[in-house]
Amino acid sequence: MLWLGIESSCDETAIALVKTVAGKNMVMADLCITQAPLHKPFGGIVPEYAVREHSKNLPLLLQNMIRSKSLNLKEVQAIAVTEGPGLMASLLVGNAFARGLALGLGIPVFGVNHLEGHLFSPFIGREEKLKFPFLGLVVSGGHTLLAKVEGPRQYSMIGSTIDDAAGEAFDKVARLLGLSYPGGPEIEKQAERGNPHSHSFPISLIEKNNYNFSFSGLKTAVKYFIEKNKESLSKKEFLADVCASFQESVARVIQEKTIAAAKSFSLSLIAASGGVLANKRIRELLEKKAHEEGIEVLFAKRQFCTDNAVMIAFVGALFYALGLPITKSFELNPNFSLSDFKTQANTNRF
């Protein structure tokens, strides 16, 4: 079975091909155009520009894929498309494109929650590692969450951010430091030359036995610190030290919360994904503590950490193989949460 994946929920326009052969889902194509340079001057995403770019880039990417893979579109048997969460207008572009294609080709469409795309992305190319239940950790620009995954569309939320997502904190701190958008990779680059213990920023763990995250206190602490030390910002070492210390605080929070949740819910496998988990120091600290506790951590490969369409096609292919039929109806939902699968009694809403 050949799946076409389409992702357009935020500022990446992506399409991918995943082929199921003898029970294995193989990545046949992975194309993405990021809009980061376009949104850079604004320090965040401008929805109007995002929509224009998606509309322009989706047909371009498809043409490229057809040419580079000598693909005959008629070979595609199903489409998986992100139906939320994300920017409503961006979601609409991807869904209209998917629906139009599906109609023309006479094939079905499978709506995928963007977060479940991230949740299962660590298993791309390593399905043999997939065993339920596992602890899903997603740390991205829009979300920071921990969920117990007991099966496809059987998610129990364990914790999420009560204010800023970790990626958002990276982006905002980067902006305060005069670094460009997206801030995560910029801060990581600076942090490589810095001392993570030069400044002690808060490590917000809230209460024990509470797995929610909070990053706004940390962001504010960095903001005040920068305001107090404005004249030092031009010094390279100072900038590197602030970046390293901020990154260390985020890494420690993620490490502590995730391992505590895994222990408390007796989950011996953590599947970790999302843009922020492309960060080497955050991966390193989590891996270290998990190892000490005898817990396995499977990180999404770096190219699948940030938004991509492979994870969307992969969820379609994987769930179909696990016996979930393909949906006929779909609802776009910019606030689509993982808990909605339970509350709408739509674990099998196909």
Is 140 labelled as part of a ligand binding site? Answer: yes
Query: CB of 247: closest distance to Zn ion in angstroms?
Result: 20
For Zn ion, the binding residue among 8, 55, 113, 140 (CB under 5 A) is 140
Q: Does the protein bind Zn ion through residue 168 (CB under 5 A)?
A: no
Cβ atoms 226, 175 nearer than 8 A: no
From 16-24, 58-66, 88-96, 271-279, give the range in contact with ligand KG4 by CB under 6 A: 271-279
242 CB-contact burial (10 Å; exposed 0-12 / middle 13-18 / buried 19+)? buried
Say how far apart CA 112 and CA 82 lie, in whole Å. Answer: 5
Q: Which of residues 299-328 bind Zn ion (CB under 5 A)?
A: 307
196 binds, among ligand KG4, Zn ion, none (CB under 5 to 8 A by kind): none
Q: Does the protein bind ligand KG4 through residue 184 (CB under 6 A)?
A: yes
Nearer to ligand KG4, 136 or 185 (CB): 185
Q: Does the protein bind Zn ion through residue 82 (CB under 5 A)?
A: no
User: Torsions phi, psi of 160, nearest 5?
Assistant: -155, 180
94 binds, among Zn ion, ligand KG4, none (CB under 5 to 8 A by kind): none
Residues in CB range of 80: below 8 A, 6 or more apart: 3, 4, 5, 6, 109, 110, 111, 112, 312, 313, 315, 316, 317
The helix (H) or strand (E) run that includes residue 33 is strand 24-34
Nearer to Zn ion, 140 or 247 (CB): 140
Query: CB of 280: closest distance to ligand KG4 in angstroms?
Result: 7
Tokens of 154: 């059987």
276 binds, among Zn ion, ligand KG4, none (CB under 5 to 8 A by kind): ligand KG4
Give all strands (DSSP E) within 167-302, no chain letters: 269-273, 296-299
Q: Which of residues 114-143 bind ligand KG4 (CB under 6 A)?
A: 140-142
Nearer to ligand KG4, 78 or 272 (CB): 272
Residues facing 73 on adjacent strands: none
* Three-state secondary-structure class, residue 80: strand
Say how far apart CA 116 and CA 82 lie, in whole Å. Answer: 10
From 82-90, 140-148, 246-254, 328-336, give the range in contact with Zn ion by CB under 5 A: 140-148
Nearer to ligand KG4, 115 or 295 (CB): 115
Residues flagged as binding site for substrate: 138-142, 171, 184, 188, 279
